[in-house]
Amino acid sequence: MERITLTRTERSPEVDFDFASGRLVLRGESYPEDAAAFFGPLLHALRGHLAETQASPITFDVDLAYFNSSSAKALMNLFMPLEDAAAEGRPVTIRWMFSADDDVIQEAGEDFAADFTHARFEMIAGVTA
């Protein structure tokens, strides 16, 4: 699977999906005009990677200072196949990064974390996008 890198814009996050190393990163702010168009190719590539490889570990660093509701739905759409892969035995870690004084992003991460039983979901305070 080809590596996907996108430069951060005013409305969309930096993306670095390095499938070969198992390291996925979203960083910045996310409120693209068309979240489905932005996140759709990422979801498609992630699903393709999961189908092509079986046991390689995946770490997904999410370091967003702000995201809108359509981005939240897109994030959950990215998280769901990772949770499924973890349920099948693949080591998956989602690292939710937030500024220590940002209760909104922290609570959003806690809400996401509540939906996981197989993937490891780490809350990491003190990091800013």
- Using alpha carbons only, give the angle 4, 90, 5 rounded to the nearest 5 degrees: 5
Model confidence pTM above 0.85: yes
What pLDDT was estimated at residue 128?
Answer: 60
* pLDDT tens for each residue of 103-119: 999 999 999 999 999 99
Kindly list the domain boundaries of the chain, sorted by start residue.
4-125
CA distance 95 to 63: 8
Superfamily of domain 4-125: STAS domain (3.30.750.24)
Residue 58 in tokens:
């995946």
pLDDT for residue 53: 83
Q: What is the mean pLDDT of each run of 10 residues along the chain (129 residues)?
A: 94 97 97 96 96 91 97 97 96 96 96 95 82
Decide: helix, strand or coil at residue 79: helix
Q: Tell me if 40 sits within 8 A of 56, measured CB to CB.
A: no
